[in-house]
Amino acid sequence: MARSTEETSGSGTAPTVVGPVEGFRGAQVCTVVGITYRQLDYWARTGLLRPSITDATGSGSKRRYSYNDVVELKVIKRLLDAGLKLQQARQAVECLRGDLGVDLASAQLVLADGRSILATTDGQLVDLLAGGQGVFNVLPLSGVVSELEAAIVELTRSEPAASVPDERHPAGAYLAAGGAARS
């Protein structure tokens, strides 16, 4: 029996399907993620991703994976498909999970020259293969135009009414078109 939750992901999209109440069996995980059972077993034994519902307790015991486990495995698979080595994927996942506390499924990564995996966090671009070391500051420019328009409107309000905007200048054309009338 499948269940769903009304919680939304970080992007505010549709409800997340959580899967079977008892979790996903190993063979099911392999099918939906696109990996072999041997890979899944190796990743669990080496601690890359241990099943959060039921871990193996000995020969013949069955692992049970949660929906979030399956999402993380799919992310790892996507990193490998993008050309990363398993050790690089492991290092990136550990840094995202532990040091940065980022949800793997919502992370935005930039793969740079095979030696760097970059992610944004707290307004910084960090290199996951360097243990989350900051590389650059991210400068958001999304509000530049609205800030500029507001400053131009404020400027025209403080100037004498007799001044005529110079239509050869982009801001002048904006004001001549009635941009100052918008408030």
Of residues 4 and 159, more confidently modeled: 159
Is residue 121 situated within a structural domain?
Answer: no
Residue 167 in contact with residue 177, Cβ under 8 Å? no
What is the CA 14 to chain-centroid distance, rounded?
17
Is residue 45 situated within a structural domain?
Answer: yes
Does the pLDDT of residue 48 top 80, yes or no?
Answer: yes
pLDDT digits (tens, 9 = 90+) for 71-123: 889 989 988 998 888 998 888 888 888 777 777 777 778 787 667 787 777 66
Total domains, the chain: 2
Q: Which of 52, 101, 42 is nearest to 76 (CA)?
A: 42
Domain boundary among 31, 63, 81: 81
Domain boundary among 81, 100, 125: 81
pTM of the model: 0.59
Is residue 130 situated within a structural domain?
Answer: no
Gap between the Cα atoms of 93 and 49, Å rounded: 10
Which CATH number is 69's domain given?
1.10.1660.10
Q: What is the pLDDT of residue 32?
A: 93
Of residues 127 and 28, more confidently modeled: 28
Contacts of residue 117, Cβ cutoff 8 Å, sequence gap at least 6: 79, 84, 88, 92, 109, 110, 111, 127, 128, 129
Q: What is the pLDDT of residue 36?
A: 96
Q: Which residue has the tokens 């995980």?
A: 29
Question: For 15, which DSSP code?
Answer: P
Gap between the Cα atoms of 161 and 167, Å rounded: 16
Indicate the average pLDDT of the chain.
75
pLDDT digits (tens, 9 = 90+) for 109-146: 878 766 778 777 766 777 887 766 655 555 567 777 88
Q: What is the pLDDT of residue 40?
A: 94
Gap between the Cα atoms of 120 and 104, Å rounded: 12
